[in-house]
Structure 1
């Protein structure tokens, strides 16, 4: 069994990992649409306010489970609210192949998934990116989306000036103009593509602000059916694409609450990203259409990145090997 620490993962992904990860995710989502991968809706175990979510996926060769721990109380302890570990096994022999720290894997594959959706759903001429939130995911998303769009300007809303300043410094090398705005509405109305990147429980983004041609990546809300960043009107006014329908119906507050309110029906949220990447459904239909990618996150995405990491690690001699059966 190969053990890859956070430092190992960082070394293997390198400074610009998003293109390779995006390609791996496109193949994975396409395989899912063609029935060559399995992603069941993840169950959740809740205890003392913490949510523990085993995210499972399998292909003909590999199976993986990422245990995602969403622990809000960690904020008061000075710890990360979300932590995760990925276990990879052979689907052919059951042999344990790898144990991988999930922190950077999750951040990079989440941004790469948004970039993949943006490549298929946003207007190609989009030049202004809007960010609701300026933390680590904002940095990853800016880098990932800059690879599929010729970005010129980023409009950023953040609750804390220090977070915004760290974001500015982290993306300074890209040469993109970063503008701070005072309200979320300014971000939405002024952008071609918007990424929502906060752990909000109540909507920060209103569909009433959506203009023609907008693309939205709804990313930040944790996998809990009572949390959402975007109101039901936002989904009603958009062509919605989900990463997995089963997962969205179980874990996405955006979808679950919009359905409960009657803002949408299930047919409105049933198109999966893999169906679009496989060419079985269209991406954007015209320049005026509003599109929205609802990103909950899939174990299949983690598996795709884990396969990439294991291949690189063994080629470069990175990581620690253990024999569990000895």
Structure 2
């Protein structure tokens, strides 16, 4: 039987601390050769700006294979529809049975925030207490929840172009009783933060390396997986010790990385390594309190598999979702 899980059902099943643990294990599995994470392809037609990315993974310890089809359709803005949509398929590694089909919105948001938390735990200064957010949407809310699970965050400095987005953000995190500072600019956020998360679908830089302070850790999260779009300028990449979720993915999909490489102001060899190798001790992370570290988070299928395992198991335990016999 195949379990169908909708976005609202998945929202009720989310467990951020367990997701962070699962995402950390997933990165370690890649590093240790216990999981296979190929770089995603990008399907598109010459006459269209839309992209379709099949994001696949297989994990021995989890007993799953998975693929998420991510649709990146900028033209949906004119239709008042989300520019990114996705569906996640979970398959038994043993039998090949389709175990579950999940709407991708909630899993993607939560595992993305969890990955930033894992990176911050590994790379940020342990005493970091000020979280800076460029962008204040649902992904920002998830990042606050994730960071609180791994670090003693006391202050959140946030900027967004829209006052209504800031107001909604404040309402959604009010119960956490944090000191929230509404920043007048992205520069104010960057210069105030111990940990900075960039969470916008910007195509041109919003964050500039000249603003980076010693000891900063950056999670570069929001840019679409396209080689010509970025949130961080080239100086920001050059000034940082850069780590990635997957080098093969970043070198085909990350404009934050590829643009400075194409400008010949940075080389691929300057990337310090993959986050999984930091977690397993194969690659050093922060080497000094003054280091500026940057996690370039493009998004990989192995993280979808990791959160998919948790959500599927919790759905079975709580009898959530619709079971369908696809073979009937």
The TM-score with structure 1 as length reference comes to 0.97
Q: Which of 248, 251, 254 is matched with 2:253 structurally?
A: 251
Q: Is the CA contact (8 Å cut-off) linking 2:72 and 2:85 kept in structure 1? A: yes
Q: Is the CA contact (8 Å cut-off) linking 2:67 and 2:88 kept in structure 1? A: yes
Q: Deviations along 1:189-217, whole A, 9 cap, x unmatched? A: 11111100110111111111111100000
In the TM superposition, residue 289 of structure 1 has moved relative to its aligned partner by 0.5
Separation in 2, partners of 1:262, 1:148: 36
Could you tell me which residue of structure 2 aligns to residue 124 of structure 1?
Answer: 126
Q: Which of 127, 147, 150 is matched with 1:148 structurally?
A: 150
Q: Deviations along 1:60-84, whole A, 9 cap, x unmatched? A: 3211000011111212222111111
In the TM superposition, residue 179 of structure 1 has moved relative to its aligned partner by 1.2
Q: Deviations along 1:73-100, whole A, 9 cap, x unmatched? A: 2122221111110011122221111101
For the aligned residue pairs, the C-alpha RMSD in angstroms reads 1.1
Report whether the alignment pairs 1:201 with 2:203.
yes
Separation in 2, partners of 1:318, 1:190: 43
In the TM superposition, residue 268 of structure 1 has moved relative to its aligned partner by 1.4
Report whether the alignment pairs 1:102 with 2:100.
no
Could you tell me which residue of structure 2 aligns to residue 162 of structure 1?
Answer: 164
Could you tell me which residue of structure 2 aligns to residue 58 of structure 1?
Answer: 58
In the TM superposition, residue 54 of structure 1 has moved relative to its aligned partner by 0.7
Q: Is the CA contact (8 Å cut-off) linking 2:10 and 2:311 kept in structure 1? A: yes
Q: Is the CA contact (8 Å cut-off) linking 2:219 and 2:295 kept in structure 1? A: yes
Separation in 2, partners of 1:51, 1:102: 16
Q: Deviations along 1:24-71, whole A, 9 cap, x unmatched? A: 001111000011111111111124211111111111321100001111
Q: Is the CA contact (8 Å cut-off) linking 1:185 and 1:209 kept in structure 2? A: yes
- Of 19-28 and 92-101, deviating more is 92-101
Q: Is the CA contact (8 Å cut-off) linking 1:245 and 1:270 kept in structure 2? A: no
Could you tell me which residue of structure 2 aligns to residue 6 of structure 1?
Answer: 7
Q: Is the CA contact (8 Å cut-off) linking 2:212 and 2:236 kept in structure 1? A: yes
| Mapping 1:1-326, distance limit 5 Å | 1-13=2-14, 17-47=15-45, 48-60=48-60, 61-326=63-328
Separation in 2, partners of 1:307, 1:158: 33
Query: Secondary structure of the residue that 1:130 maps to in structure 2?
Result: strand
Query: Secondary structure of the residue that 2:35 maps to in structure 1?
Result: coil
Runs (4 or more) in structure 1 with deviation over 4 Å come to none
Q: Which runs of 5+ in 1 are unaligned?
A: none
The TM-score with structure 2 as length reference comes to 0.96
In the TM superposition, residue 286 of structure 1 has moved relative to its aligned partner by 1.4
Q: Which runs of 5+ in 2 are unaligned?
A: none
Q: Is the CA contact (8 Å cut-off) linking 2:240 and 2:294 kept in structure 1? A: yes
In the TM superposition, residue 263 of structure 1 has moved relative to its aligned partner by 2.4
Separation in 2, partners of 1:278, 1:151: 25
Separation in 2, partners of 1:149, 1:90: 35
Query: Secondary structure of the residue that 2:101 maps to in structure 1?
Result: strand
Q: Is the CA contact (8 Å cut-off) linking 2:129 and 2:155 kept in structure 1? A: yes
